[in-house]
Amino acid sequence: MSTSATVEWSPADSSPGDTGAGFTGERACRSIQEVAEAEWDSLVPPDELQMRHAFVRACQDAGVADAEYRHLTIYRHGTLVGIASIFRMDVRLELLCPGFLRSLIETVRRWRPAFLRPRLLLCGLPVSAGRPCIAFRSPADAPFVLGQVAHYLERAGEELDASLFCFKEFRPGEAAALAPLGEHGYFRAWSLPAYRMDVPWHSFPEYLAAMRAGYRRQVNVTREAGRAAGFHTRKCGRGEIEWERLFPLYEQVMERARFQLEHLNLAFFQNLSRCLPESVRVLALEQDEHLVAAAVILETPGLTTFFMTGIDYERNRPGEAYPNLVTEVVADAIRSGTGHLELGQTSGALKSRLGGQPEPRYLFFRYRSRWAHALFRAVAPLLFPASPGETRRVFRTNGQLGRSVREKSSPT
């Protein structure tokens, strides 16, 4: 494999090796700009905004985590059947560990600084938002595409001096489609669960009325605390988002984050507005002239995603700023008419009280070294403990019943 070319063609074992109309294999590009946007997005599902060419470009152009990328387009007899983004970074494997185990690992690092800090090649993007960056033309293409990506990781691992490979992060149904990775030596591990809501309500009062009394009371207490503190919410769309004002609040969150794979930069957020101007908005929670908290929202026709947040911790507690912000995220999603709301992978206690349901996320790993892989697999349950999340019965009736009523009553 060439180490200098920006575009590399690698035929599959059974392919004759030409790069013409009948090519079978993968094409690897170091810059997403070398991949045609229409070709890449032709395999991206409609609501997978974080897989789109424009989103990948926002990451790469910002230099997030100083990642080095490879973007794969995979062909079978000349037809595009898969896409995948890969990046390299150094990572701390104790990221999801319980606190006592992380303390023990930090102690070991006093003598061995590289302990559990391998160079990692990930199929995904350096943004911790619980979504993958691999897609197939059809389920029948998955085994072939996964085989091509797995083989490419092996070759790229040698070039980029990476010892550990990972595919991240997948819902249960998606993880089942990745079962063929087992044939290439990968095993499945837990990531943090994500909280998700169906949104069958026409209005926020209807949402409140659907809640059981105890949960409704908590929402009302939170909102009253926000009113007493003088909080008000402003929605910022295209051309209105003040990223320079929001970014210091995001950094406050990251300074306190228990789980931190990467630290996004200001350029990334600015790129979101540049690359996806119609799909990004911000909910700003303000007090007088001060920005107290903010939510970055990504939106597609069928899905609203609470993507990132920023909090001024000096002003957070008195008026329950963050609970008010998340409540406003729910209210805004209802007003937008979305079908589903992704609430993210942290603050599960709060999000479950608002009706979010935990949904597992999975990772797939393989070490290049056989003995290291065996050891890593043995300790994986400690490094990546099962995380089912918090489940609560928040609503008096089944939310899906409400959805069917809404759909029947909607104009055609």
Would residue 2 count as lying in a domain? no
Q: Which residues have a Cβ under 8 Å from the Cβ of 173 and sit 6 or more positions away? A: none
Give yes or no for residue 284 having a pLDDT over 70: yes
CA distances in angstroms from 385 to 208, 258, 381, 388, 389, listed in the order given: 35, 15, 5, 10, 12
Would residue 386 count as lying in a domain? no
Q: How many residues does the chain have?
A: 412
Would residue 380 count as lying in a domain? no
Determine contact, residues 216/401, Cβ cutoff 8 Å. Answer: no
Half-sphere exposure of 197 (CA within 13 A, CB side): 31
Determine contact, residues 162/88, Cβ cutoff 8 Å. Answer: yes
Question: Are 352 and 255 within one domain?
Answer: yes
User: Which stretch of 4-8, 57-61, 316-320, 323-327 has the lowest confidence by average pLDDT?
Assistant: 4-8
Sheet with 231-236: strands ordered across: 231-236, 280-287, 290-300, 303-311, 340-344, 194-198, 357-359
Question: Are 307 and 336 within one domain?
Answer: yes
pLDDT tens digits, 324-383: 999 999 999 999 999 999 999 888 999 999 999 999 999 999 988 898 899 889 988 887
* Number of domains the chain contains: 2
Would residue 262 count as lying in a domain? yes
Tell me the two tokens of residue 146. 């996964």
Question: Are 175 and 26 within one domain?
Answer: yes
The predicted pLDDT at position 84 comes to 98
Half-sphere exposure of 380 (CA within 13 A, CB side): 20
Q: Report the alpha-carbon angle 45-330-252, nearest 5.
A: 90
Question: Are 350 and 338 within one domain?
Answer: yes
pLDDT: which is higher, 406 or 145: 145
Would residue 381 count as lying in a domain? no
Buried b (16+ CB within 10 A) or exposed e, 343-374: bbbbebebbbbbbbbbebbbbbbbbbeeeebe
Question: Are 75 and 130 within one domain?
Answer: yes
Q: How far apart are the first and last CA of the chain?
A: 55
Nearest to 181 by CA among 145, 156, 128: 145
Nearest to 392 by CA among 334, 361, 349: 349
The predicted pLDDT at position 241 comes to 94
Cα gap 70→73, rounded to integer Å: 10
pLDDT tens digits, 33-71: 999 999 999 999 999 999 999 999 999 999 988 889 999
Question: Are 355 and 302 within one domain?
Answer: yes
Cα gap 329→13, rounded to integer Å: 49
pLDDT tens digits, 208-243: 999 999 999 999 999 999 999 999 999 999 889 999
Question: Are 243 and 159 within one domain?
Answer: no
Q: Report the alpha-carbon angle 371-382-369, nearest 5.
A: 15
CA distances in angstroms from 314 to 160, 224, 321, listed in the order given: 43, 19, 10
**Which residues are paired to 188 by β-bridges?**
364
Question: Are 174 and 215 within one domain?
Answer: no
- Collapsed DSSP state (helix, strand, coil) of residue 116: coil
Question: Are 144 and 203 within one domain?
Answer: no
Q: With 0-12 CB in 10 A as exposed, 13-18 as middle and 19+ as buried, what is 183? A: exposed
CATH number of 64's domain: 3.40.630.30
Nearest to 337 by CA among 206, 237, 236, 244: 206
Would residue 257 count as lying in a domain? yes
Where in the sequence is the domain holding 164, given as residue range(s)?
7-192+361-368
